[in-house]
Structure 1
Amino acid sequence: MRTLPDPQKAKPCVLVVDDDEAVAWAIAGRLGQDFRVVGLTDPAAAVRRACEEKPGVILCDIHMPGLQGDEVAFALSQEPRTARIPLIYLTALVTPEEVADLDGVFGDYPTVSKSASTQELRDLVSAALGLPDDC
């Protein structure tokens, strides 16, 4: 008898890079029905982990000890295997209503507030993955 594929592996992967493990758990709870969420608390390991997991999108905190979000984004952009993975900055710096104030501040990457609604987060991740609106 053949082994059935793991249904979790069939879901698009979202890699969450945040020094606060609770953030990754919270995002996994909010997105886990539709996506396979992998959390990473060591920003220095982001490139290696992205190469291993092959995520469809990366959510990256802006302010972290060691490496800041822009340094993680730069490192990912320099590795051919991760350079094309969409990156979305994740921040507690602003409310969902203030996110537009950050447009262009951290390069061309979109930004989402950690306090954004689950639907807003899901929509942004789906758009980055190129999924239809009804996913």
Structure 2
Amino acid sequence: MRSLPDPERAKPCVLVIDDDEAVAWAIAGRLGKDFRVVGLSDPARAVERAREEKPGLILCDINMPGLQGDEVAFALSQDPRTATVPLIYLTALVGPEDHPDLEGVFGDYPTISKSATTEELRDIVASALGLPEDD
């Protein structure tokens, strides 16, 4: 008998890069209904893991020991297999109320506060993936 496809693998993949594993778990809990969330706590493995998982989107912490978010973004942009994957910075440096003020602050990448609501997080992820908005 032929095996059926894994419904989890059919969901759009979001790779979360954050030195705090709890952040990836929290985001997975908030997005898991609609997305397959893969967490990575070692930013030095970002390019390798992105090649393996082929995510539709990468959420990357800005302030991490070892490699900063901009260094991760640069490394991803240098590999042809990961260069076109959209990236959104995650930050605890500002609150969700500062979201409109974040445009351009961290380079050309959009930024969202780690303390944004689940709805705000889902909306920015869905938008980056080109998915229709929930009404």
TM-score, scaled relative to structure 1 = 0.98
Aligned to 1:120: 120
Aligned twin of 1:71: 71
Task: Provide the C-alpha distance between the structure 2 equivalents of 1:49 and 1:70, rounded to a whole number of angstroms.
Answer: 17
Q: 1:7: how far off?
A: 0.4
| Structure 1 unaligned regions, length at least 5 | none
For residues 31-110 of structure 1, what are the structure 2 equivalents within 5 Å? 31-110=31-110
**Whole-angstrom CA distance in 2 between matches of 1:4 and 1:101:** 46
Q: Distance in 2 between matches of 1:112 and 1:91?
A: 6
The RMSD of aligned alpha carbons is 1.0
Aligned to 2:27: 27
In structure 2, the gaps of 5 or more residues are: none
What is the CA distance between 1:106 and its match in structure 2?
A: 1.4
Moved over 4 A (4+): none
CA distance in 2: counterparts of 1:100 and 1:70, whole angstroms? 20
What per-residue deviation string (whole Å, max 9, x for no partner) do you get for residues 20-79 of structure 1?
000000000000000000000000100000000000000000000000000000000000
Distance, in Å, in 2 between the alignment partners of 1:99 and 1:71 is 22
Q: State the match for 1:14 in structure 2.
A: 14
Question: Aligned partners of 2:101 and 2:11: how far apart in 1?
Answer: 32
1:70-105: CA deviation from partner (whole Å, max 9, x where unpaired): 000000000000000000000000011112222212
Q: Using the alignment, how far apart are the partners of 2:134 and 2:5 within structure 1?
A: 25
Q: Could you say what secondary structure the match of 1:14 adopts?
A: strand
**Structure 1 residue identity aligned to 2:64:** M
Task: State the number of aligned residues.
Answer: 135
Structure 2-normalised TM-score? Answer: 0.98
